[in-house]
Structure formats: structure tokens, C-alpha cells
Amino acid sequence: MTGRLDGTIVLITGGSRGIGLATALRLGRLGASMVLVARDSASLLEACRRVDEGGGRAIGVSADVVDDSAMERAVARAEQELGGLDVLVNNAGIGRYGPVDTFELSDWRRVIDTNLTGPFIATRAALPAIRRRGGGHILSISSGAGKQGYSNMSAYCASKFGLQGFMAALAAEVADDPIKCATIVAGGVLTDFGIRSREDRLRSGDKFLAPDDVAAAVEFLLTQPEGAWTQELNLWPR
């Protein structure tokens, strides 16, 4: 086991910033090629440039993870331009918060669609391609909110609890394939997310993970010995 990822082809949703960008940069330095999916074209272009400069190769696809045809196109580009697909990292997510009795239905739907339906859509698109490569990995970035309920976070908690269940069911479904499914349950991460900016988090005095801490967990999962499988990795700041 060399720890290198030369020849590995990865698709990362939410790949232009935060955890997604940190993961792209880390995997690129290890030799991986990748498709990055994000909504913001400008940040996506910059992310691809940084991956390329760091020694990897990145193709950007400007798309929303809830667009099934767009995710099919992203997978097709991985196969046509990079040669296949070995790894899917379901990272894209949003946070919208408020008490249940005043929470907008449109916000509820958007959180559930992005954080739960998005991984389903991406996984459904990626699975045939990963099988054509003879196996690989499907990873999802979850949260402590997928393990415990928090006030004013009903939509976010529901989406992450659902993601935990989806990944457990997926692992059972592909148990006879050489496909490892893993969920990273991450504590608070120092990024701009939801209503709190990175600066707000710094001022709070709370402890946070760096985005690259989560990226290092992705690297660990992808470089484990073939006979080892971590189904769930809990990652907390200290």
C-alpha cells in the first residue's frame, strides 16, 4: 500500500469550496484525477486551477446535485475524459435553520433535496460506472446532526439522519460488489456554512475541525488495505 492514488478517478460534489475543495486538493496531490461538481462556475474554475497546479487533474461541472440529468452528465464526463470512475464523494450540503412552527416549507424541501436526495441522485448515477471499473468507493460526508437532534435544526438533522440510513442500506445492497461504502460523521468544521461565517465560528471560541482534517479522513478511507472496511468514521475536534 503506497498511499498514492495515481490512476484513481474521483467525483466530488460540492467540490469548489470548504471540505470539497480541501478533499480535491489533497487527493490531487496524491495523483488522483477528478470531476468537481458545484453550482458556482467561478469558484469551480478556481478550484480546478488549484488542483491542476497541485499535481492532480480536475474537470469542473457546474450543476446542482438535485439535477439528475446533470449528475448523469458529470459521470459521463468522468468516463469519457478521464477513463472511468472509481470514487464518489457525496459532500454537497446546505444548512437552513429555524423553529418548526415558522420554518418555511420551501427551506425544508431545499435542505432535504440537497443533503439527502442529492446523494441518492449522485450515487444512482455513479454506481454503474464504478461497477464498470471493477469496484471502488462511495463516501458521504455526514454530521453529528445525523446522530443527535438540535433545536432549530429539524430539516438539517432529518437530512443527515436520513443520509446515515441511506448509506447503511447502500452498504448492504452492494455487499457482494467490491465497493466500500463509508460515512464520515464530522463535528463542527471551520467553514462558511449556513448562517455562520468562518469568522463567526472563530470568534465563538468553540473547537472546530479544519476542512483538511475531513479531507485526511477521506484519504485514510481510500488508502486502507483492500481487506479493511470502515463503514462509519466519527471525526471530532479536540
Active site residues: 156
Could you tell me which residues come within 8 angstroms of residue 49 by beta carbon, excluding any fewer than 6 positions away? none
Could you tell me which residues come within 8 angstroms of residue 15 by beta carbon, excluding any fewer than 6 positions away? 21, 23, 24, 34, 35, 36, 37, 38, 44, 47, 60, 89, 91
Report the amino acid identity of residue 87: V
Cell of 219: 484519504
Contact of 51 with 15, CB cutoff 8 Å: no
**Helices 105-112 and 154-173 sit at what angle, rounded to 10 degrees?**
30
Cell of 52: 491542476
